[in-house]
């Protein structure tokens, strides 16, 4: 986190000037930094830690994100699994997901791994980070569930894209994303 901040400052980026940093009081920057450090200490999925740090750096250099919004984004990162972050990274480019399943588990069974991925996708949809562009395989009655998620129809929402950009999820290694794409293609 510190090296990323140093790098931005050396490139001429200016930290935000809206009171987020206030040396005279315990400010939003201090609170958010403390929360990130605490999260990093307790995070069992070490792969997530750098993306949590990238969120802080992004917030530190833009006035467009309020402290309250930053805290909500941080909570989402804390709640998400690393694999859920990989799902968001895979769906972040504005491209159609070619080769992934066009049927939901309700219509065509899949592996246990695919079932788990669809549950995680369903959670991301519930958080407003993903949506499905076509619900033609949803239930006729009753609430939708993870067995109605169609990988080919998953798209990242504007809010999900914002989280992905601020957390630099595009830096997730392709090998981690590839395993998800392969499971969703099965």
Across 138-165, average pLDDT = 81
Q: How far apart are CA 102 and CA 121, in angstroms?
A: 15
Task: Decide: 162 and 77 in contact? Cβ < 8 Å.
Answer: no
Task: Decide: 150 and 137 in contact? Cβ < 8 Å.
Answer: yes
What is the pLDDT at residue 1?
78
What is the pLDDT at residue 95?
56
Task: Decide: 60 and 16 in contact? Cβ < 8 Å.
Answer: yes
User: What is the average pLDDT value for the chain, to the nearest integer?
Assistant: 84
Q: How far apart are CA 179 and CA 184, in angstroms?
A: 9
Statement: residue 138 has pLDDT above 60: no
How many C-beta neighbours within 10 Å does residue 89 have?
Answer: 23
What is the pLDDT at residue 72?
92
What is the pLDDT at residue 25?
63
Domain locations along the chain = 1-79, 95-186
What is the pLDDT at residue 136?
60
Q: For 73-88, write each residue's pLDDT tens digit.
A: 999 999 999 999 999 9
Q: Write down the H helix ranges in the chain.
A: 2-10, 28-42, 49-60, 67-79, 82-91, 112-126, 158-166, 174-185
């Amino acid at each position: 986190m510190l090296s990323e901040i140093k790098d931005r400052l050396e490139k001429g980026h200016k930290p935000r000037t809206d009171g987020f940093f206030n040396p005279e009081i315990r400010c939003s920057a201090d609170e958010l930094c403390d929360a990130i450090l605490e999260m990093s200490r307790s995070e069992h999925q070490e792969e997530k830690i750098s993306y949590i740090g990238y969120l802080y750096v992004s917030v530190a250099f833009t006035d467009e994100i309020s402290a309250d919004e930053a805290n909500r984004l941080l909570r989402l990162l804390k709640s998400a699994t690393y694999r859920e972050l990989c799902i968001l990274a895979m769906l972040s480019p504005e491209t159609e997901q070619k080769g992934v399943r066009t049927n939901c588990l309700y219509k065509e069974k899949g592996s246990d791994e695919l079932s788990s991925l669809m549950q995680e996708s369903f959670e991301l949809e519930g958080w407003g980070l993903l949506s499905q562009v076509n619900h033609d395989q949803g239930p006729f009655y009753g609430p939708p569930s993870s067995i109605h998620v169609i990988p080919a129809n998953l798209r990242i929402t504007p809010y999900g894209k914002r989280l992905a950009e601020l957390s630099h999820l595009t830096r997730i290694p392709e090998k981690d994303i590839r395993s998800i794409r392969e499971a969703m293609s099965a």
